[in-house]
Amino acid sequence: MKGFRTNQMIAVDWKPNKQDKTPIYRQIVEYISEKIAAGDWPIGSRLPSQRDMAQTFGVNRSTVVSAMEELISYGILESDFGGGTRVASNTWSIRMSQPPDWNKYIRSGFFRPNLDTIQTINHMEFEPGYIRIGTGELSPELYPGKLVSKIFRRMPERIPSLGYLGPLGLPELGEALAQWLAVNQGIEAKASNIMVASGSLQGLQLVSVCMLKRGSNIYTEAPSYLKSLQVFQSAEMCLHGVQMDEEGLEYWKIKDASNDSLLYTIPSYHNPTGTVMSERRRGEVMNFCQSRQMPILEDDAYGQLWFDEKPPKSLKARDKTGSVIYMGTISKTMAPGLRIGWVVGPEAVVYRLGDVKMQTDYGASSVSQWMMTELLTSGDYDIYLETLRRELKARRDNALTSLSQYFKGIATWNKPSGGFYIWLCLKHRVFMDRVFADALKAGILLNPGNMYDYGENHAIRLSYAYADPEDLRKALKILADIIEKHQKR
Amino acid sequence: MKGFRTNQMIAVDWKPNKQDKTPIYRQIVEYISEKIAAGDWPIGSRLPSQRDMAQTFGVNRSTVVSAMEELISYGILESDFGGGTRVASNTWSIRMSQPPDWNKYIRSGFFRPNLDTIQTINHMEFEPGYIRIGTGELSPELYPGKLVSKIFRRMPERIPSLGYLGPLGLPELGEALAQWLAVNQGIEAKASNIMVASGSLQGLQLVSVCMLKRGSNIYTEAPSYLKSLQVFQSAEMCLHGVQMDEEGLEYWKIKDASNDSLLYTIPSYHNPTGTVMSERRRGEVMNFCQSRQMPILEDDAYGQLWFDEKPPKSLKARDKTGSVIYMGTISKTMAPGLRIGWVVGPEAVVYRLGDVKMQTDYGASSVSQWMMTELLTSGDYDIYLETLRRELKARRDNALTSLSQYFKGIATWNKPSGGFYIWLCLKHRVFMDRVFADALKAGILLNPGNMYDYGENHAIRLSYAYADPEDLRKALKILADIIEKHQKR
């Protein structure tokens, strides 16, 4: 697990030089001293286990033990509870100056670190060799390289300069989005109602710092993607999960709808359950919220990814009173690396969001915005989506086949009609941490359902968008065995 | 001033259809009613003056007066203090549902709106026809279109996919930056010490939410670019200005250097004064901060833009204990639209910043990151910088000539040896708001010094980077007259 770090676990990514005359254990002592002196490893940081270090360094464990003993004798390291080792001091050398107490700073900011599981997943996703069965991203195999190259070739004549842009983003993209949202989705919006964001995650971030105060109530489907994020929780807002049935959010269970709360919903191909809110439910949710003047934040990341028929119209398309803030993105349909999302709402709202965006990062990359404009206005994006839908549908079918084969007795699941996700509900309780760890050992990276949920649950978010279909089949077979082993009947 | 909005001032950007049979005043009534019904103009929003509306609509003022009277009689609008008009109600029609009280939400978030002057400037910068004498941005004329096209053409083979990236950004860019920082600036950093940000403004934003708590003390030069931003002030931190002499920050005036404070400094071609911190002062500042374990946030946006000789080595290049968080960017040297900046610091620090970046926007555009990588590794960036330095130096000379011609009796100023800025200190007091307004009337957009300073001041930030040299000369001539008129001797 080279390079793997939790919050304060140190990354060790170095090897001694075996050609060097300096003894190996001495090289290790010096390497560790230097990392600490440079402030890279603050006081209190935990070192990896001796076994892991020996493996990373490519040396015997006894060599590591000698080095650690020496460092402990200097008072540079100290033994940790639980048999580990941590950084004890950075003042051994006769130096006037010491690094700042960075760990203290790091713990100071109000923005919480990611959940441990999520930090682990974020890191493991960049380690090769794992089959990623929950990743909410299109497989690199689906990357439309030719289309992107075509768009690149048109850029030089399209882009007049790469200066700063205004609060709402590139005006040409605003116009193109207004047009596309009208034709494609029946959403009536002018460019002045649309703010381009660096992905829809930034849209959420802006809403949290611009529009809500500490203690505001935010209702979401239970489970919800939003629960896996720290964005609202760091801003000290209260997330409340609302149960779902097969038609979507059971809005009548929202107890305290008031006008400083907000409903966050993913009506189409919900993350993580794949549910589509029904036509009828959408109308009811709109009435419920509008009559209470409760704003809706509609996340439509997956709405374009339908397989057999379009989902019902978005809430925003039904919104005649400006009650809905709508978010769309290209991250799930084509290229998260572009970092382009859009927020559609009343002018006063998008203007406030844009003003703060100017203060946090001055807007999204204009190269990306020009590329997105070209994708939309050329019609290439719509053509591409048709191909993608067929491909994703085939991948869904493959996943469903494997599930019937391996999971019949162990779990239940939905048959998604679009999007990325299958919500696999285990029939019996397991310790999910152990399943996660065993799967990891078997080379499988999974997304445990409790990342998304409010209480205990025994579900796993599967995604058929990322892993190679044959790999996914293999991984599901192995996972079924692991789960059977862990079931507490 | 079409399209101009302060915080709650409404933008009116519409014209009645004179071919339509509906009377013009009726069309205005309907237009305004619809904007209010749609939630675009929340209750309490102020309308532009009747004169401004008449001008924008292209109608007689009396037509606007009729429309307003009708809307007031319906209770939709009401007269505001000071003779204006504002939105009074959105419930006139017999409707079940109303828009949420958006103005209440908009005022709720903890992130403050931009200062009024800055909002005005942000907006006016997108209005054509003004000579912008303070804009901290390269002129579009300096945009290296050919170079960018060349880089674009290489992209298709460079970019393998556009997936999500890890917490530190594109690994290839990290390596390229490490190499470039070593060769070009003597900064020793590994890729694991470097985080790619969406511009260095995002670096500041991340430091504010990750590393500092409410009430933390932040010291800056007085004046400072940082003072014009809300980023730390919104996070309820205390900014303290420290006076400067010709060698830079008078660090000995920092009273309460402690280990939950931070020093923010722009040692090279300081924004807004153009000052370069001397070799000696840099050494002293490092000693002062290191002996107090006070971290330094070094903003080196302009360090590459030297004219005759390189500035002294950056603080980061002197930093052996990991006391400095260093920020660089391409926004001032080439293309702010790329939104690429870099933060260099101890691993534990950049890792924490990267973890939170993953939660706020999932990182900078990977297209931009690949382009930056190509710029650095091809050597094209360094070659381009040589040309740019010559061009900027010529523009500086032009500005200095005009100043000697028009401002001798009215102001004093520095002769910058790099960067963008001249700090024009007026000899006599003026009401800066009136100078700003009169300049705007004369077609000149300026950046008043008090945006950047801690108390009252009578300075103006000039930038020779943006305006056409001949336009700048003309604008300075006019500005000198305006200032003379307003001086209170």
DSSP class per residue in B182-230:
HHHH-----GGGEEEESSHHHHHHHHHHHT--TT-EEEEESS-GGGG-S
Classify residue A11: in a domain, yes or no: no
Same domain for B366 and B420? no
Q: What is the pLDDT of residue B209?
A: 86
Its pTM stands at: 0.82
CB atoms within 10 A of CB A24: 20
Whether B173 contacts B371, CB under 8 Å: no
- pLDDT digit string (tens) for B126-146? 778 899 999 999 999 999 999
Mean local confidence (pLDDT), A241-269: 91
Whether A132 contacts A9, CB under 8 Å: no
Classify residue B93: in a domain, yes or no: yes
- Checking if the pLDDT of A18 tops 90, the result is no
Range of the domain at B226: 157-380
Q: Given the structure tokens 């800055």, which residue do they identify?
A: B118
Q: What is the pLDDT of residue A359?
A: 83
Q: What is the pLDDT of residue B104?
A: 77
Same domain for A388 and A364? no
CA of A411 vs chain B CAs: smallest distance (Å) = 31
Mean local confidence (pLDDT), A110-137: 82
Same domain for A336 and A249? yes
Q: Give residues with Cβ within 8 angstroms of A201, minimum separation 6.
A: A229, A231, A341, B359, B360, B361, B362
* A:191-230 residues touching chain B, CB 8 A cutoff: 192-193, 197-199, 201-202, 205, 208-214, 216, 229-230
Classify residue B19: in a domain, yes or no: no
Residue that finishes a domain, picked among B315, B345, B380: B380
CATH number of domain containing A138: 3.90.1150.10
**DSSP H or E segment with residue A299:** strand A296-299
Same domain for A161 and A308? yes
CA distance A2 to A52: 8
B contacts of A42 (beta carbons < 8 Å): 346, 348
Q: Is B52 exposed, middle or buried (0-12, 13-18, 19+ CB in 10 A)?
A: middle
Classify residue B11: in a domain, yes or no: no
CB atoms within 10 A of CB A129: 7
Residue A8 confidence class, pLDDT cut points 50, 70, 90:
low
Residue that finishes a domain, picked among B380, B395, B414: B380
Same domain for A344 and A372? yes
CB atoms within 10 A of CB A256: 11
Mean local confidence (pLDDT), A165-169: 90
Classify residue B122: in a domain, yes or no: yes
Mean local confidence (pLDDT), B4-32: 76
Q: What is the pLDDT of residue B39?
A: 82
- Checking if the pLDDT of B333 tops 60, the result is yes
A44: left (phi over 0), alpha (psi -120 to 50) or beta: left
Candidate from A13, A98, A153 with C-beta closest to B293 = A98
What 3-state DSSP class applies to B444?
strand
Residue B473 confidence class, pLDDT cut points 50, 70, 90:
very high
Give this complex's ipTM.
Answer: 0.80
Substitution target from A367, A371, A420 for chain B, most B beta carbons within 10 A: A367
**DSSP H or E segment with residue B409:** none
CATH number of domain containing A41: 1.10.10.10
Nearest 5°: the CA angle B387, B414, B469 is 45
Judge whether A317 is closer than 8 Å to chain B, CB to CB. Answer: no
Displacement of CA A240 from its chain's centroid (Å):
20
What 3-state DSSP class applies to B150?
helix
**Most confident residue range from A246-260, A416-430, B50-64:** A416-430
Classify residue A186: in a domain, yes or no: yes
Same domain for B362 and B409? no
Reported residue count of chain A is: 489
Pairing of strands A131-132, A444-445: parallel
Whether B273 contacts B222, CB under 8 Å: no
Mean local confidence (pLDDT), B32-37: 85
Same domain for A132 and A163? no
Whether B322 contacts A38, CB under 8 Å: yes
B contacts of A264 (beta carbons < 8 Å): none
Mean local confidence (pLDDT), B316-333: 94
Q: What is the pLDDT of residue B489?
A: 58
Same domain for A198 and A280? yes
CATH number of domain containing B281: 3.40.640.10
Mean local confidence (pLDDT), B436-457: 92
- Checking if the pLDDT of B97 tops 70, the result is no
CA of B257 vs chain A CAs: smallest distance (Å) = 12
Average predicted confidence (pLDDT) for chain B: 89
- Among candidates A230, A242, A318, which has minimal Cα distance to A275? A242
Mean local confidence (pLDDT), B79-96: 68
CA of B457 vs chain A CAs: smallest distance (Å) = 24
Same domain for A217 and A298? yes
Share of chain B above pLDDT 90, in %: 58
Tokens of B213: 């708590």
Q: Given the structure tokens 């009430």, which residue do they identify?
A: B215
- Checking if the pLDDT of A115 tops 80, the result is no
Same domain for B121 and B104? no
Mean local confidence (pLDDT), A218-231: 92
Classify residue A327: in a domain, yes or no: yes
Q: What is the pLDDT of residue B73?
A: 76
Substitution target from B353, B367, B368 for chain A, most A beta carbons within 10 A: B367
CA distance A121 to A454: 19
- Checking if the pLDDT of B345 tops 60, the result is yes
Classify residue B304: in a domain, yes or no: yes
Same domain for A364 and A262? yes
CA distance B339 to A344: 23
- Provide the domain count of chain A: 3
What 3-state DSSP class applies to A418?
strand
Same domain for B374 and B402? no
Cβ–Cβ gap A167/B122 under 8 Å: yes
